[in-house]
Chains A and B, each alone.
Chain A
Amino acid sequence: MNMSNKTLNKISSFFLNLKSQPMTVVLFLCASFSVIILFLMLFFVAREGALAFSQFGSDLFFGMQWDLESNLFGGFPLLYGSLMVTFGALIIAIPVGVCTAIFVSEVLPFYLRDPIKSIIELLASIPSVIYGFIGLLVVVPFIASTFGIVSGQTALTSSLILSIMTIPTIVSVSGEIISAVPKNYKEAALGLGATKWETIKSVVLPISKSGILASIMLGFGRAVGETIAVSMISGNQAHVASSYLDAVYTIPSFIAIHMGEAPVGSVEYSALFGLGLILLIITFIVNTLADIVVKRGVQP
Chain B
Amino acid sequence: MSQDDKIDIRQLNIWFGEKHVIRGVDLKIKANAVTAIMGPSGCGKSTMLRAFNRMNDVIKSSKTTGDIFIGGKNIYDNNTNVYDLRRQVGMVFQKPNPLPKSIYENVAFGPKIHKMAKGKDLDKIVEKSLRAAALWDEVNDRLNDSAFDLSGGQQQRLCIARALAVDPEVILMDEPCSALDPAATAKIEQLIRILSTDYTVVIVTHNMQQASRVSDYTVFLYLGKVIEKGGTKAIFENPQHELTEQYITGEFG
Contacts and interface: CB of A to CB of B under 8 A. Distances in A.
Contacts of A279: none
Given A184-B97, A202-B101, A206-B101, A189 B148 contact: no
Interface string A92-120: 00000000000000000010000000000
A149 interface: no
B17 interface: no
Given A110-B60, A192-B109, A299 B146 contact: yes
Interface residues of B, number: 31
B58 A187 contact: yes
Contacts of A194: 83, 109, 113
Contacts of A187: 55, 58, 91, 93, 97
A195 B83 contact: yes
B219 to A, nearest CB: 21
Contacts of A195: 83, 113
Given A185-B100, A203-B100, A300-B100, A193 B58 contact: no
Interface residues of A, number: 19
B178 to A, nearest CB: 13
B101 A300 contact: yes
SS of A interface (majority):
helix
B157 interface: no
Interface in A246-300: 299-300
B90 interface: yes
B60 A192 contact: no
Contacts of B85: 193
Interface string B131-157: 000000000000000101100000000
A207 B109 CA distance: 16
Nearest to B93: A184
- Residue of A190, A195, A207 with highest tally of chain B CB at under 10 A: A190
A285 B109 CA distance: 37
Contacts of A202: 99-101, 109
B187 interface: no
B6 interface: no
A191 B87 CA distance: 8
A299 B114 CA distance: 26
B85 to A, nearest CB: 8
A259 B225 CA distance: 78
Interface string A108-141: 0010000000000000000000000000000000
B159 interface: yes
Given A190-B58, A191-B90, A193-B110, A185 B97 contact: yes
B163 interface: yes
B84 interface: yes
B10 interface: no
B166 interface: yes
Interface in B76-121: 82-87, 90-91, 93-95, 97-101, 109-110, 113-114
A185 B90 contact: no
B229 interface: no
B60 A203 contact: no
Interface in A155-198: 184-185, 187-195, 198
Given A187-B55, A187-B58, A300-B148, A192 B97 contact: no
A193, A207, A300 interface centre (most CB from chain B within 10 Å):
A193
A9 to B, nearest CB: 30
B159 A188 contact: yes
B47 interface: no
B175 to A, nearest CB: 12
22 contacts: A110-B60, A184-B93, A187-B58, A188-B99, A188-B162, A189-B99, A190-B55, A190-B86, A191-B93, A192-B87, A192-B90, A192-B162, A192-B166, A193-B110, A193-B113, A194-B113, A202-B99, A202-B100, A202-B101, A202-B109, A207-B100, A299-B149
Given A110-B60, A193-B82, 4 more contacts: A184-B94, A188-B99, A203-B100, A300-B101
Interface of B: 53, 55, 58, 60, 82-87, 90-91, 93-95, 97-101, 109-110, 113-114, 146, 148-149, 159, 162-163, 166
